[in-house]
Every structure is written in C-alpha cells, then in structure tokens.
Amino acid sequence: MTTKSISFTPPRQLMKGLLGTTFVCGLIFGIGLLVSRERTMGGFLMGFSHAVSIALGGGLFLAVLRLTNARWASALKRLPEALGSSLPVLGILGLILIGGVPVLYEWAHESHVIGDTMLEDKAPYLNWFAFSVRLVVYFLLWTWLLRGMITNSRRQDVDGDPRHARALFRYAALFMPIFALTYSLASVDWISSLEPHWFSTLFGLITLSSAACSALAVCVLLALWLRRRGEMRGILTDDHLDDLGKITISFALFWGYMWYTQYMLIWYTNMPEETPYYALRMHGGWGHVSKLCIALCWAVPFFALMPKRARRSGSVMARVAVIVLLGQAAYWYWLIGPVLIGEHPAFGIWELAPIVGCLALGTWGTLRGLSQASVVPVHDPAVAESLHYHC
C-alpha cells in the first residue's frame, strides 16, 4: 500500500544554532586544552561516547525492527534511521580522540608500561597505533552497515521494489553481530582502558544497554516533537506511545540489571584487582553521582511508566525521555570522571563545552538525516497496519 509522502524541513534557525553551538564549544574546547587538558579531554570523551551511543542505538533499533518484522513500528522507522544518519559526522570527532590518547590513557606512556607486568602483557592491544586502527575500522563498519540499511529503506520509497526490503534484512542481520562485537570492543578501548588494571566481562553489555536507553529516549522526543509540529500528527498514536513506554521500561530494567550484576560480582568476590573501581565510585561525592544515575536511569522510568495512562501521555513520556537522557549523560560522567577528575567530582566549562558540542553536532546530523526522506515510509506494505495499530 502506498502512503502519502510527508517531507520534513528542519527550522533554519535551529540548524544554524546547532552549528553555531558546535563552533563555540569547539573554541572553548581548544582553550581548555591549553588550560586543563585532562578535564577538557575527559569532557570530550563523555560527549563523544554519549553521542556515538545514540547514533548506534538508532541503528540497533532499526535492525531489530526489520529482523523481527515489527509491523506496528513501520510508520516510525524514519526516527532510528535519522539517528544512524548522524554517525558519519560524529566519526570525524574520532580523530580528536585519537589525538587525545596521550592525555587520557596511561598505557600510551612507555614510562608507565615498563615494569608493569599487566600493562606489558596488554601492550600488543593497548597501544596508540592499534587503538587508532580499531577506531577507524569500527566507524567504517558501522557506517557501511547503517548506510546499507538506510539507503535500501529509502530506495523502497522510490519504486516499492521488495528487493530493497530483502537487502535491508541482510544488512540488519549483519549489523547485529558486528555491532555487538565492535561496540563492546570500542567500550573497552575508549572507556574501560582508562583504568587498564581493571577488567569486567559485563562492561560491553552495560554500555550497550546505555546506548539503547539513550537512543529510545531520543526517538520518543523526536516523535513527539514531529507530532506537535504536524508531520507526525495522526501517525504517532497513543498506542505507539504505549509500546514505546513498555520498551523504555524494559531497557531501564536491563540497564539496572547489568549494573547491579557487575557490582555484586565484584563486591562478593572482593578481589584487589577489581574492588578499587567501585571503592572510588561508591563513596564521597561520586557515591552521590552513582545514586543519581540509578534513580534517573532505572527508578524514574520504571515507576513513572508502570501505569498505562502515563505511557499514553505525551507529556509524561517526554519528561521521562529527558530524564533518561540526563541520567545516561550522568552515567558517562560517572564512568569517566573519577579517573580524570579525581576523588572529588567537579563539573565546569571544560567538561560542559565539549559535551554540549558533541551532542549539538549529533543533533544537527540527526535532523539533517530526517529531512532527506519522507517522515513516513511511502511504499512499505506494513505502514497501513502500523497507522491503524491498536495495542
């Protein structure tokens, strides 16, 4: 069935504002590298990790929707496609991370490696050249797979050829295992290796759940914004919101379960190689940040969205989505900050500017991607069912 094409044109002032914000934050970032290198690069790593996780989370949802043949969400698939469209833009920021390796990671300094048995054993993997190659390979693979899914989805709008749907399925089937492996490795490279003497077999799953929570929250906000503007009025229904709310609860539970599992495994084994990680993060000021993360990422979405009436309310869903995004931002701060800032939390312009700059650039890429195709798929045979879906 063919549906009417609905175009989206992002407000010009908003797009200019996002690029202007990115530019100003870039200037502050440059000054920060001269004044407080570690804190500034730490802020960049927080913003970069959060923005990339949102883009990849969009690809994750797009792949899952296609592989499970989730017909109820067919009318909404342009939203995760838009998130994935921002990845190539964010990939450019990866070059900054490569340049900041000596500032962020102790394993990048030969003086720290020599004489340290563990770092010497990890040196073939944790070195500047291997780190850089892996980062480039990650982004090339992610971009190739996301572009394959998005391009075939949009080509279906042109001629309705079912071959595009089959090609999208193949790309989605490739994306899932490759994403699971590479994103886990990227999480170890970018975040976990800040503390190279510590290790966790669950770390990749925790960051993956964080990416899913953040991407879903952005999709909810985008959908509600477009409904308010008019492009998705009559398309995004309360039934869609109800299911999006249920999925939000599910991923909040998954994130909380993974976080608790890692903590409990380290707590009851009480191994000296592992306990310093949580000893630093669960006491003093960082202990308050950990409680904030648990409240915003797990407790609020879980309890606020349990009533069906709340899930079907656009205002409630929007507020919860904002809280989840803030909670996940706080979580990246909790993961990275203790290593680079120290025992006492500090948050100022040097952390804020690169975080805002990365997220502003990611938002610009997302809105630009959303404007490149009809907001609602035109020739997708499942769209009619999605538009009249009742949960």
Phi, psi of 305 (to 5 degrees): -100, 5
Here the tokens at position 14 are 């908003």
The C-alpha angle with vertex 362 and arms to 224 and 65, in degrees rounded to 5, equals 55
Q: Could you tell me if residue 5 is inside a domain?
A: no
How many CB atoms within 10 Å of residue 276? Answer: 13
pLDDT digits (tens, 9 = 90+) for 238-247: 999 999 999 9
How many CB atoms within 10 Å of residue 198? Answer: 17
Domain coverage including residue 94? 12-387
Predicted TM-score of the model (pTM):
0.93
Would you place residue 258 in the very low, low, confident or very high pLDDT band (cuts 50, 70, 90)? very high
pLDDT digits (tens, 9 = 90+) for 305-356: 999 999 999 999 999 999 999 999 999 999 999 998 888 898 999 999 999 9
94 Cβ neighbours under 8 A, 6+ residues apart = 48, 135, 136, 139
Please report the pLDDT score of residue 3 as a whole number: 65
Here the tokens at position 294 are 């648990």
Here the tokens at position 172 are 């989605």
Here the tokens at position 359 are 């997220």
Of 38-47, 278-287, 358-367, which range is least confident?
278-287
Spell out where 255-299 has E strands: none
The total number of structural domains that make up the chain:
1
Q: What percent of the chain has pLDDT over 70?
A: 98
Q: What is the torsion angle, in degrees rounded to the nearest 10, for the CA atoms of residue 170, residue 172, residue 176 and residue 177? A: 20
The C-alpha angle with vertex 201 and arms to 286 and 98, in degrees rounded to 5, equals 70
Q: Could you tell me if residue 4 is inside a domain?
A: no
Q: Could you tell me if residue 1 is inside a domain?
A: no
Q: Could you tell me if residue 349 is inside a domain?
A: yes
Q: Could you tell me if residue 303 is inside a domain?
A: yes
Q: Could you tell me if residue 7 is inside a domain?
A: no
Would you place residue 2 in the very low, low, confident or very high pLDDT band (cuts 50, 70, 90)? low
Q: What is the largest distance, in Å, between two alpha-carbon atoms of the chain?
A: 68
DSSP 133-177: HHHHHHHHHHHHHHHHHHHHHHHHHHH--HHHHHHHHHHHHHHHH
Q: End-to-end CA distance of the chain, in Å?
A: 22
Here the tokens at position 224 are 């509600």
